Amino acid sequence: MSQSVKGSNLRVDGNALWVDLMETAQYGGTPKGGIRRLTLTDEDRQVRDWFVRTCTDLGCEVSFDSMGNLFARRPGLDNALPPITMGSHLDTQPTGGKFDGILGVLGGLSVLRALHNSGYTTRHPIEVINWTNEEGSRFSPPMMCSGVFAGIFTEAEVLDKRDRAGIRFGDELDTIGYRGKEPCGQHPISAYFELHIEQGPILEAEDKTIGIVTGIQGARWYEVTVRGKDAHAGSTPMPLRHDALVASAGMIMAVSEVAKAHGPSAVGTVGLLENRPNSSNVVPGEVFFTIDIRDPDDAVVLQMEQELRGKLETIAQENSVELEIVQIWDAPAVHFDKACVGMVEEAATEHGYSARRIVSGPGHDAGYVAKVAPTAMIFVPCKDGLSHNEEESILQQDAEMGANVLLAAVLKADQTFDQ
Ligand SMILES: [Zn+2]
């Protein structure tokens, strides 16, 4: 079959994409210009209905699986091939912005529109996916339904999750009318591309438009309890103290030093601290704090953990206090598919957009999808790196360039993958 349009000439309609972003922002829109669109609420149903309507008007067929994940499908020449897919999430935080997740779904929609308007026919079917409950703020954990799709969680455990009001996930899915017959996870895909705002400051600081995301960094969280002895601040000589806060101060410095020693990629944070009894004339008897360490390389995360355990033990002994460390979370690093990352890079280069390789700090649906299909992500800058905030802001031209890279990467994947 001959194509009257060359794929490399195709561009998304940036104005239409922006209109879609602003139009859907009314579903759950807040007075401060953000969005409150918690998963499986009436606002979620409204934006889903809009998405189904809009994709249907572009000649797509929309289906949903047993977790309410939506698939808008544009047929290809060989519909026996699993689709090349794009997507992200339409749910938001309670005080979320207009772009986190939404750009990935509506950017995918802008790709469907470009194909539709040009009459370009792909080999594979092309699909845009809206993953249910990425944010995890109403029903925990986050990325719940891409997690079921990838076999991380079972359908039964997710259907039984309850929000803080005691309302069941499965019941709410029925209420909004988006529980499909297709069992979640039985939907083979050839490749997956997710366009997302960076949610960090690097692209903006370096004046780059496109982040070629190579993976998601590994993270480990710990809870640390340091036990000393409460004592009078006036009468207890320094050598006889068991000061839990002085010991903790050294430990907090150690977290920072270990992360810096593994820089520039490694990060280490103590973000929560409780000091007891927290009284101005009492030597602190007990301190509780958290440690969050991350690096794109799991071996580095492990190395940092070992160094920290050694340093913290030493500091505890020097200060005559007891130390307890409990690991509470372990998220291994995700490495995206080299071929898909290469397609994103080529797409950015061919368009002449300024770009750099980058590793994602936060988790994304793409992290789970990567377990079952070749996957990559595209980042665009957001103002001041601000996200999960009603003031989240991006430039229209950056949204358009990100979507153009998404379109070009999808067309490359369409030519490359034979399944
Ligand atoms: Zn997101």
Q: Tell me the average confidence (pLDDT) per consecutive run of 10 residues in the chain, 419 residues long.
A: 74 98 98 96 98 98 98 97 98 96 98 97 98 93 95 96 96 98 97 97 97 96 96 97 98 98 94 95 97 95 98 98 93 96 98 97 95 98 93 97 98 94
Tokens at residue 150, please? 């990838």
CA of 364 to the centre of ligand 1 (A): 6
Long-range own/partner contacts, residues 301-308 (CB < 8 A, 24 or more apart): 301/218, 301/219, 301/220, 301/333, 303/262, 304/258, 304/259, 304/262, 304/266, 304/268, 305/220, 307/258, 307/261, 308/254, 308/255, 308/258, 308/268
Nearest to 106 by CA among 209, 24, 201, 213: 24
CA of 135 to the centre of ligand 1 (A): 7
Question: ∠327-330-335 over CA atoms, to 5°?
Answer: 155
Q: Which residues pair with 223 in a beta bridge?
A: 290, 326
> Ligand 1 centre from 10 Cα, in Å?
27
Task: Give the DSSP H or E segment for 76.
Answer: none
* 55 CA to centre of ligand 1 in angstroms: 21
Looking at residue 92, its pLDDT comes to: 97
Helix (H) or strand (E) holding 13, with range, is none
Instruction: Report pLDDT digits (tens) over 117-127.
Output: 999 999 999 99
Cα 100 to ligand 1 centre (Å)? 5
Confidence (pTM): 0.88
- The per-residue pLDDT of the chain, averaged, comes to 96
What residues does 377 pair with on adjacent strands? Answer: 194, 213
Report the alpha-carbon distance of residue 184 to residue 68 in Å, rounded.
8
CA of 197 to the centre of ligand 1 (A): 8
| Cβ–Cβ < 8 Å for 249, 270 | no
**Stated length of the chain:** 419
Query: How many C-alpha atoms does 373 have within 13 Å on its Cβ side?
Result: 27
Ligand 1 centroid from CA 77, angstroms: 32
Residues with a beta carbon under 5 angstroms from ion ligand 1: 100-101
Q: How far apart are CA 91 and CA 140, in angstroms?
A: 13
Distance from the alpha carbon of residue 101 to the mean position of ligand 1, in angstroms? 4
Q: For residues 108 and 190, give the distance between their C-alpha atoms in angstroms, rounded to a whole number.
A: 16
Give distance in angstroms: CA of 401 to centre of ligand 1: 19
Q: How many CA atoms lie within 13 A of 326 on its CB side?
A: 6
Task: List the one residue out of 153, 135, 141 whose CA is nearest residue 39.
Answer: 135
Report the separation in Å between the CA atom of 196 and the middle of ligand 1, taken as the mean of its atom positions: 7
| Ligand 1 center to 360 CA (angstroms) | 11
Q: What is the Å distance from ligand 1's center to 322 Cα?
A: 40
- Report how far ligand 1's centroid is from the alpha carbon of 344 (Å): 19
pLDDT of residue 175: 98
For residue 244, the CA-to-ligand 1 centroid distance in Å is 39
| C-alpha 6 to ligand 1 mean position (Å) | 32
CA–centroid distance, 280 to ligand 1, in Å, is 43
pLDDT of residue 46: 98
What are the φ/ψ torsions at residue 72 (nearest 5 degrees)?
-100, 115
**Ligand 1 midpoint to CA 363 (Å):** 8
